[in-house]
Amino acid sequence: MSKELEKTYNPSEIEDRLYQKWLDNKYFHAEVDHSKKPFTIVIPPPNITGKLHMGHALDETLQDILIRFKKMQGYNTLWQPGTDHASIATEVKIIEALKEEGIEKEDLGREKFLERAWEWKEEYGGTIVSQLKKLGSACDWDRERFTMDEGCSKAVEEVFIKLYEKGYIYKGSRIINWCPVCQTSISDAEVEHVDQAGHFWHIKYPVAGTDDYLEIATTRPETMLGDTAVAVHPDDERYTHLVGKMLELPLCGRQIPIVADEYVDKEFGTGAVKITPAHDPNDFEVGRRHGLPVINVMNDDATINENGGRYEGMERYEARKAIVKDLEEQGYLVKIKEHEHNVGTHDRCKATIEPMVKPQWFVKMDELAKPAIEAVKNGDIKFVPERYTKTYLHWLENIRDWCISRQLWWGHRIPAYYCDECGETVVAKEKPEVCPKCGCTHFTQDEDTLDTWFSSALWPFSTLGWPEQTEELDYFYPTNVLVTGYDIIFFWVVRMVFSGYEHTGKAPFDTVLIHGLVRDDKGRKMSKSLGNGIDPLEVISQYGADALRFTLVTGNAPGNDMRFYMERVEASRNFANKVWNASRFMMMNFEQADFSHVELSDLTSADRWILSKFNTLAKDVTDNMDKYELGIAVQKLNDFIWEEFCDWYIEMVKPRLYNDEDNTKAAALWTLKKVLSESLKLLHPFMPFITEEIYCNLTGEESIMLASWPEYREEYSFAREEAAVELMKEAVRGIRNIRAEMNVSPKKKAKVFVVSENEDVRDIFEQGKVFFGTLGYASEVAVRADREGIAEDAVSTMVPDAVIYMPFAELVDIEKEIERLKKEQKKLGGEIKRCEGMLNNERFLSKAPEQKVEEEKEKLSKYRQMLEKVEERLGQLVK
């Protein structure tokens, strides 16, 4: 027998209690079980520096919905959790903390610094995990991993050595993103492109031995110190006669060649481009094609180095001012144009990135990319929505070698050792005892650590025990769905795919579900600088996790950004309250009632209608969820529970519930409980807490998480009854519309006549008299084949094959209605006279704005129509 719910729904009282219950009972934990089919999701590991933001909340909510859905379908579900060590972000945090103590990183030394880093991780690394729990995340916390734990570190080491031995990892000098503040190379993922106001400086480069010159335009004059050529398009007739000639590089005393290269856009700027291979990725490629020298003119802190001549030691922007001044004084500066351009900045410290050629460790991508391309082309891996396939393939087909070394201390240290005597490089798990080249016994390990993405690329299989061939790896891998934002397709998704194929021979997952960003109500990206971020924990504290989750999924479509409105959160909370209050009402009626003996044959047309509607809903929601259309699924649930079940069916059956003599009362109670319990199951993945609380109190079962997902059942399909009740609903809407137009109070009852020549239609209304009368505010329902005996003044509404009549005198007090209509007639007459006066006034017509004149014409037309209706009604009443 069901227990009574608390009078009001209080999420803060139930959510923590229920989450602890789930943990205590290990409902989230998965063990290898070959009698069940596995379903696995790996969490995109949040940074240990992180705090839950709306992007996390959306990402984790979508994963949680899928896990809970699949668990109820009978799958052995594993949602593998963990966190990322986030090299740069964490190191920056620790350095900031040290500075507050007056300590520099270098003063502490590497070993002591790492001790502090691990202490910091232990203290703050669990923050986001506890916040994920507040959201209701059904992660298997017993299996929680960290990208620098012993198992993941072993996998990283194994992969590095394996790829090095295959010749896929090498050390070389190539162009990379360099942060002069953090003093490290960074990945493309950590470069944030922002529009900045800048300039185009137009500079003359004299053609050696002539009075001629080329005009180039640059946004970074300081890099001209490292120019080694100027490029023009081979088809640009303005410059073909100059290709192969030399230019005098202003201020530098060097000569550089003019080369022809199709990289140049001859329509952009002057059509002549300065080539600085050491400080621009495109220039670097041009330089390689033409065998140009690479001249780096910057130190690691972005000051000019010894290659910069008299500008040596200047900070880059200081050097820029000095160079521009000298160019102007020496007659090389043609003009300066203002120019808005896209500038790469480090997303952590906001410093402008300096592209630089530096010796770094790289992964050769040509061969690794091939199976990752093929997997998507042949359908082994699918993107939802499918359009992101193009984004993925475009990046992979144009991929460059991956810079994997970082000049940081926090992270996986590169397992490369250099012989102190001859410089021989040895890549190994342990420091070598003897140099294989010279026999020396002294080695120094490479100072660099690996890019954080190197370890997270292995996440789907390193978390399951790889490189060991564990039982978990064999059972739960490959995983099923990866849920992530479109902003890290390149940086993470691609790397997991090629890593999966290279190291396991299998795709790491079969589906990539892409979601968009959560933007503010104005459509802006949430950011600290704008101050428009909304803290999910504050929303949870005020409205509950269920309301936040429901809001994030409502209207959500794969791949699309969404706007976050607090009004929607309130609407979600109102929905939760509706479910709670309706459940409480039903459960109060279930007390002391025995309806266990009810058969389907006992159900009325109303009962069969709602059961049939639910049956279709179960099928539709399952189909939507299988297609990852979670926003559509949740909208269908909202509409069914709020409108069909609460607003229609509960109101339909109330007369039966309040009448102990009604022999269909037990059928009504059975149907209420059946549809409520099954609807809660469909709703559970979206709103896990409220559904758990109601379901357990309703059924006495241990947990809704252990319940079976509702499936379509042929015996619950009642097409005839559905059509019958929908017909009566249409009649009720017609009655309500008439009464609303006539301002009739719901308290005032009136006789309702249903007239139809169709016997089947008459039977429908006869059988549904009880609830049709209640919903239609009827004092009595009379069903007949013709209109005989119905007053001439009766108002009517039509439905297919029937007309519904209500005697006018029973709806309104005729004398009062005549009085009201006469007042309305007088008021409308006055408004018409005023409008006509204005529109007949030549002065008004000549001076008033055209829009104002049109407004008055529209008002006059509307008032005349309203007056016509009022006078028609008066004509009917005044005989």
Which residue positions form the known binding site for ATP?
A: 528
Distance CA 736, CA 690 (A): 33
According to the 3-state scheme, what is the secondary structure of 615-675? Answer: HHHHHHHHHHHHCCCHHHHHHHHHHHHHHHHHHHHHHHHHHHHCCCCCCCHHHHHHHHHHH
Which residues neighbour 862 within 8 Å (Cβ) at sequence distance 6 or greater? none
CA proximity to 805, closest of 754, 729, 759 = 754
Backbone angles phi, psi at 715, to 5 degrees: -70, -10
Distance CA 727, CA 724 (A): 5
Distance CA 809, CA 791 (A): 9
The number of beta carbons lying within 10 Å of the beta carbon of residue 468 is 12
Amino acid at residue number 234: P
Which residue numbers belong to the known binding site?
528
Amino acid at residue number 146: F
Q: Are 773 and 780 in contact (CB under 8 A)?
A: yes
Distance CA 274, CA 256 (A): 10
Which residues neighbour 449 within 8 Å (Cβ) at sequence distance 6 or greater? 87, 405, 406, 408, 409, 410, 411, 412, 413, 414
- For the chain, the maximum distance between any two Cα atoms, rounded to a whole number of angstroms, is 123
Query: Going by DSSP bridges, is the β-strand pair 254-260/354-363 parallel, antiparallel, or unpaired?
Result: unpaired
Q: Are 276 and 219 in contact (CB under 8 A)?
A: no
Distance CA 375, CA 382 (A): 9
DSSP 8-state secondary structure symbol assigned to residue 788? T
336 forms beta bridges with 201
Q: Which helix (H) or strand (E) element contains residue 863? A: helix 850-877
Distance CA 714, CA 603 (A): 16
According to the 3-state scheme, what is the secondary structure of 500-531? Answer: HHHHHCCCCCCEEEEECCEECCCCCECCCCCC
CA proximity to 82, closest of 21, 154, 152, 187 = 152
Helices (H) and strands (E) in the chain, counts: 30, 29
CA angle 66, 71, 72 (to 5 degrees): 105
Distance CA 519, CA 783 (A): 55
Distance CA 611, CA 599 (A): 13
Which residues neighbour 314 within 8 Å (Cβ) at sequence distance 6 or greater? 303, 304, 308, 322
Amino acid at residue number 418: Y
The dihedral built from the CA positions of residue 314, 320, 321 and 325, taken in this order, carries a sign that is positive
DSSP 8-state secondary structure symbol assigned to residue 491? I
Which residues neighbour 778 within 8 Å (Cβ) at sequence distance 6 or greater? 749, 750, 751, 752, 772
CA proximity to 227, closest of 198, 200, 204, 250 = 250
Strand, helix or coil for residue 428: coil
Q: Are 221 and 321 in contact (CB under 8 A)?
A: no
Distance CA 422, CA 705 (A): 64
